[in-house]
Amino acid sequence: MNYNILTIFPGLIDTFSKTGFIKKSLNKGIINLNLVNIRDYSDDIHHRVDDKVYGGGPGMILKYPPIEKAIRDIKDKGHILYLSPQGKILNQKKLQELSNYKDLTFICGRYEGVDQRVIDELVDEEISIGDYVVSGGEIPCMAVMEGITRLLPGAVDDFESVKQDSFQDGILDYPHYTRPEEANGHKIPDVLSSGNHENIDKWRKKQALGATWLKRRELLKNVKLSEEDDKLLKEYIAEYKKHGY
């Protein structure tokens, strides 16, 4: 996967790329990062890339020409995304879809955003990380990039763990425990140290379904439960109503 990232703060993303599994994925050649400083495409002697808004009002806007020139200069642009609070809200399905591209280009906005002609003329899709506003597109871009990269074969050491993550099959993940077996008087569930893998799998499925019912009930409307899953969920709900958890 080749990521082209247009930003006025390449240092933010450069630091991110030197950490953890993103760094490893770069070293292994699973991803490539082409960081483009929009300021390098400014005609202004001071490399300014923002200006006041037409019609008056507060704030500055990233100008069209430097972004257009920067995009034109990229050889393998692929799908062009603008990170924006007005975009489609990111979810796991969208990450899966984006992970199928060979090249992706991200435009990170700043200030009040970008000149509308950038969105109308250059962008294929606007993506939001949620219904709130942060100060720039860099953090949203890193979230999208990290989410996509972990879906690429070889990026995460144990791909099974990715397959079991929340949302991969429409429900949330089950609870995880590690040593010590007892912490502050709280023991791990007995089944996990029983060595009986059939029971462990069943317990995990039940907890995953239960967690989804408890925390994100609306997700269950979009998953088709098998007879066995339905039974496990009913058991979970009955136990929850009886004892709470």
Q: Does 130 interact with ligand SAM (rule: CB under 6 A)?
A: yes
Q: Cβ-closest residue to ligand SAM?
A: 109
Q: Does 108 interact with ligand SAM (rule: CB under 6 A)?
A: yes
CB of 127 to ligand SAM, least distance (A): 6
110 lies in the site for ligand SAM, by CB under 6 A: yes
State the nearest-atom distance from the C-beta of 82 to ligand SAM, in Å. 7
Binding segment (CB under 6 A) for ligand SAM, from list 4-12, 50-58, 107-115, 187-195: 107-115
Among 19, 27, 45, 132, binds ligand SAM (CB under 6 A): 132
Q: Answer positive or negative: Cα dihedral of 43, 64, 111, 128.
A: negative
Contacts of 20 (CB under 8 A, 6+ apart): none
What does the block give as tokens for 86?
Answer: 């007005």
For every residue of 147-207, DSSP letters joined together read HHHTTSTTTSS-HHHHHTSTTTTSSPPPP---S-SEETTEEPPGGGGS--HHHHHHHHHHH
Least distance to ligand SAM, CB of residue 47, Å: 19
Question: Catalytic residue at 44?
Answer: no
CB of 95 to ligand SAM, least distance (A): 14
Question: What CA–CA distance (Å, rounded) separates 171 from 132?
Answer: 24
199 near ligand SAM, rule: CB under 6 A: no
Binding status of residue 144 toward ligand SAM by CB under 6 A: no
**Distance from the first to the final alpha carbon of the chain:** 43
Distance (Å, whole) CA 31 – CA 15:
16
Q: Is 150 a catalytic residue?
A: yes
Per the annotation, the verdict on 165 as an active-site residue is yes
Is 113 a binding residue for ligand SAM by CB under 6 A? The answer is yes
Distances from the Cα of 196 to the Cα of 154, 191, 192, 199, 212, angstroms: 30, 7, 8, 6, 24
Answer for the pair 10, 110: CB distance below 8 angstroms, yes or no. no
Candidate list 40, 43, 73, 112, residue with the active-site label:
112
210 binds ligand SAM (CB under 6 A): no
Please report how close the Cβ of residue 233 comes to ligand SAM at its closest, in angstroms.
33
Query: Which residue ranges make up the site for ligand SAM (CB under 6 A)?
Result: 83-86, 108-110, 112-113, 128-130, 132-137, 140
Query: Which residues are known catalytic residues?
Result: 85, 112, 150, 165
